[in-house]
Structure 1
Amino acid sequence: MKLVDERIWSLFKSWSNQTLTYWSVFFSFGLCVAFLGPTILDLRCQTQSTLEQITWVFFSQQFFLLVGSCLGGLFKKTLMSSLSALLSSTLIISFVFAIIPLCHHVVLLSVAMGLAGKAMGVIDTIGNLQLVKLYQKDSAIFLQALHFFIGLGALVSPLVADPFLADDSCVLGANLTTNSSSSSDLEHLRNSLAGHGAVLRNTSQYPLYTEGVVITRISYAFWIMALINLPVPAAVLTLMYHERLVSCSSSSPRLLSRDPGSTPAVASGQGHRDIFNCFGPVRLRGQPATFFILHALGGAIVFITDGIIGSYAGFVYTYAVSPPLLMGHKKAGCLDSIFWASITAGRLSFIYLSYRYPAPVLLTISLVGLILVQCLLMIFYTSCVFLFIGTCVLGLCISSVFPSTLAFIEDMLDYKGSATTVLVMSASTGEVMLQLLVGSVIHNQGSYSFLLCSTITSFIGFYLFLLLLYTCRIHKNHQTDISKYMDMKEKQETPDVQMTE
């Protein structure tokens, strides 16, 4: 039995240049996602700032990622504008990696991370949009692969940074001696700060200097990542040359002859507009209420599931080192890496599963599995072994929710393009907002509330999915009724035309 049939393979070969380029661009996205957490203490030393000040770079990255997600929809009308935006975004990421070692003030570092976040948001929106536009009803399998490359990049950047992280204090005090914080204390701090929404508590016990001689070697890690990322903009530029979108290749672009969306609707600019046109007054006329409800429910589902990913990655370490588990710092520090590795493995496996099963089936399995794992984690909350097992299974279950939801919603809405932008924006917002919410709850109620919050949001997500299925049925019936009405109208008008002739 063949893993992929000839039709899917033929589609991939037809659009392999664009597909591989979008996948490589998402690898660049993944590099930016995961490097900040492990390197945050070394960046604190480099900028000679306090812990409270350095955590603002997390906010800067996440906020501008959301801004970039919104702006990404403005560049999708033509292949030229999309690839130009991707080229500039990937170059910005390499540029930011290269200049981070030169940012010796926390404000400059925040500006640099804001630029990187904006580039990440543009990549996120355009990459998803273009793959949906290329493959349409067959996009699910390729979207799963696209998001696999985020996980791959997120695994690479911490591995690059790890050899250059400081083992002890990277700022020598006025007497040119290291402070009293041990390597174990700094490892605990680094793991605690890995979550973007982490709430800083009891940091006064770690006497970290802000003035003195900086001895960090983290600059080499960022320069290496800048070099690793350089082939990505080169790949985008190569694709632009191949598609004859640069002046030195040809005066006649290949966009119209090769664009898979060259049906009359897409070629005339009606199929894939930016979000403002999609929800403009002209587009709203004649749209049923289910059109908007599907956008809202799809956005709410990915808001919750991406929020769970962000909050779990951010606070599983804090939960593990707190009572009743009281896990060791090194052992608990592995949980975040295991979680991201399982998400990456899950996306790899769902590439094949997306080919075998429709998106609603995969979403049902993922969301039911998510609820079961969360409930079992609450039941066996005193078991360190089950926390590791549950973390692995949780990552596998939640890994495919976003690409499956995106493929499902776009299919229901006949690939109008607006759903992709809405879902990307919702996912980015959920990752920020739920981390802040869960962090606040943990601060006020204790670490056990971390699992309770995740479980409650999982149930809400599954309930919204059931509403989504029900709305999809109503939307299909409405579309069928419209088609029947139009057919009857055409049949009634045809005899009148013949009699007139």
Structure 2
Amino acid sequence: MNKKVTAYFFAFIALGMASAALGPTLPGLAEQTSTQLSGISFLFATRSLGFLAGSILAGRIYDRLPGHPILMVLLVSLGISLLLVPLIPQLWLLTILMFLAGTVESGIDVGGNTLMVWRFGEKVGPYMNSLHFFFGVGAFLSPIIIAQTMLVTEGSIRLGYWVLAIMVLPALLLFIRFPSPPIRTRDTAVQGQITNLPIIALVAAFMFLYVGAEVAYGGWVYTYAITLDLSTETAAAYLTSFFWGALTVGRLISIPLTAKFHPKTMLGGALAGCVASMLILLTWRSSTAVLWAGTIGLGLSMSVIFPTTLSWAEHTLSLSGKMTSYFFVGASLGAMSIPWLIGQLFESVGARVTMVTIFVTVLLAVAIFGLLVWQARLHQEAKSTKLMLE
């Protein structure tokens, strides 16, 4: 395997670990800060707000400066934030740290995706799915590490966060050795191609809904399962891990498929699987077996959506760092608002609001996908007409 590409993979393992850590540690952080779940759930919104701020800035920075030094600084910052999370007993101070952590995570996320697109161009599909496969590896391992360290430390979350902090080192060491890819200077979003703007807006809206659903499920399924007595705390941590593990397996399976099928076909099939999985979860909502089966099915179905959407956007628009940032702004807004909404309703309405909210979000994503297919077809027709006239 190309060692330059391996550096990105290790960075996304660390990013996946950090991203999946909050859900299984939510009750522990609530106890640490003497806060109820409705209050501690605000950390989802705060981290996503930081992700939003970072997304707005990151693309412009990568369009101007070499990418690898930026990633190294961000990886060090990520490790420090993970070290500090279990040491802070005040909610307001932890909120500030989560905002900064979200900013750092967005820089790594936008940077990894942008630099991978620049390196491989329209052939990025399999590499993009591989990149997000390794994000899934990190997200799968994170709840397991947390569960095992909690067993060793009699319920403390401190050791788990510190183990995750160490995992930034392999990527950091690899990035030191390799130069950054050339900066792509052409920005197709500002070259008078007005037909790009609806596509950019629709992709951002689609990312809002999809990422909101993914983060909400990964973040709340642990608390959902133990609140409804569908699982013990340890088993619920493993349930969260299986969700991210299914994402990981799905991305591994999809790597050869992306070379054979159009991104539109991949996305249509994935969204159909999401709808079916959510219907199963809502229909047999009192069954532990169905909760596990639906969780795995949803993870498999969701696995290809994010990387395939970026690949489709690159194929249609030829992405710059700034354009990629727009998509991540939409994603961060979704990751901020949907889990926060569930947190506000969880105790007052009941735990079942979790699945209902996610199902509605998925249905809206399907509707946006239909509009996106229509706009992409119009864009391709306009581009073909322009080429014929020239």
Q: Return the TM-score normalized by structure 2.
A: 0.88
CA contact 2:22–2:219 (8 Å) conserved in 1 = no
Separation (CA, whole Å) in 1 of partners of 2:52 and 2:297: 29
Taking a change above 3 Å as real, the CA distance of residues 48 and 220 of structure 1, as seen in their structure-2 partners, is: same
CA contact 1:72–1:121 (8 Å) conserved in 2 = yes
Separation (CA, whole Å) in 2 of partners of 1:67 and 1:434: 17
Partner secondary structure for residue 340 of structure 1: helix
Q: Alignment length, in residue pairs?
A: 388
Q: Say if 2:119 is the partner of 1:134.
A: yes
Partner of 2:14: 28
Q: How far has the Cα of 1:475 moved from its partner? A: 0.7
How does 1:109-148 map onto structure 2 within 5 Å? Answer: 109-148=94-133
CA contact 1:410–1:420 (8 Å) conserved in 2 = no
Separation (CA, whole Å) in 1 of partners of 2:244 and 2:113: 20
CA contact 1:291–1:413 (8 Å) conserved in 2 = yes
Separation (CA, whole Å) in 2 of partners of 1:43 and 1:61: 14
The one of 161, 179, 194 equivalent to 2:146 is 161
One-letter code of the match for 1:313? G
How does 1:88-237 map onto structure 2 within 5 Å? Answer: 88-100=73-85, 103=88, 105-165=90-150, 218-237=157-176
Taking a change above 3 Å as real, the CA distance of residues 157 and 460 of structure 1, as seen in their structure-2 partners, is: closer
Partner secondary structure for residue 300 of structure 2: helix
CA contact 2:198–2:375 (8 Å) conserved in 1 = yes
Taking a change above 3 Å as real, the CA distance of residues 467 and 133 of structure 1, as seen in their structure-2 partners, is: same
Q: Say if 2:280 is the partner of 1:371.
A: no
Q: After alignment, is 59-68 or 459-468 more displaced?
A: 59-68
- Bigger radius of gyration among the two: 1
Separation (CA, whole Å) in 1 of partners of 2:237 and 2:81: 27
Partner of 2:201: 296
Q: After alignment, is 473-482 or 326-335 more displaced?
A: 326-335
Taking a change above 3 Å as real, the CA distance of residues 99 and 314 of structure 1, as seen in their structure-2 partners, is: closer
CA contact 2:346–2:354 (8 Å) conserved in 1 = yes
Taking a change above 3 Å as real, the CA distance of residues 55 and 380 of structure 1, as seen in their structure-2 partners, is: closer
Partner of 2:221: 316
Measured against aligned partners, the alpha-carbon deviations of 1:293-321 in whole angstroms (never above 9, x if no partner) come to 11111111121111111222233345445
Partner of 1:329: 232
The one of 363, 367, 374 equivalent to 1:463 is 367
How does 1:29-44 map onto structure 2 within 5 Å? Answer: 29-40=15-26, 42-43=28-29
Separation (CA, whole Å) in 2 of partners of 1:21 and 1:351: 19
CA contact 1:70–1:121 (8 Å) conserved in 2 = no
Partner secondary structure for residue 165 of structure 1: helix
Partner secondary structure for residue 230 of structure 2: coil
Q: How far has the Cα of 1:233 moved from its partner? A: 1.3
Separation (CA, whole Å) in 2 of partners of 1:442 and 1:60: 18
One-letter code of the match for 1:327? L
One-letter code of the match for 1:294? I
Taking a change above 3 Å as real, the CA distance of residues 129 and 371 of structure 1, as seen in their structure-2 partners, is: same
One-letter code of the match for 1:158? P
How does 1:218-367 map onto structure 2 within 5 Å? Answer: 218-240=157-179, 259=182, 266=184, 269-271=185-187, 278=189, 283=190, 286-288=192-194, 290-321=195-226, 326-330=229-233, 331-367=235-271
Partner secondary structure for residue 291 of structure 2: helix
RMSD: 2.9
Structure 1: unaligned runs, 5 residues or longer: 1-12, 171-185, 187-215, 244-254, 273-277, 487-501
Measured against aligned partners, the alpha-carbon deviations of 1:80-133 in whole angstroms (never above 9, x if no partner) come to 531121010011122233444654544444443333221111011111111111
RCO higher in structure (CA 8 A, sep ≥6)? 2
Partner of 1:490: none
Q: How much identity, in percent, do the aligned residues show?
A: 27
Q: How far has the Cα of 1:398 moved from its partner? A: 0.9
Measured against aligned partners, the alpha-carbon deviations of 1:449-484 in whole angstroms (never above 9, x if no partner) come to 433333332222112112111111111111111112
Structure 2: unaligned runs, 5 residues or longer: none
More helix by share: 2
Q: Return the TM-score normalized by structure 1.
A: 0.70
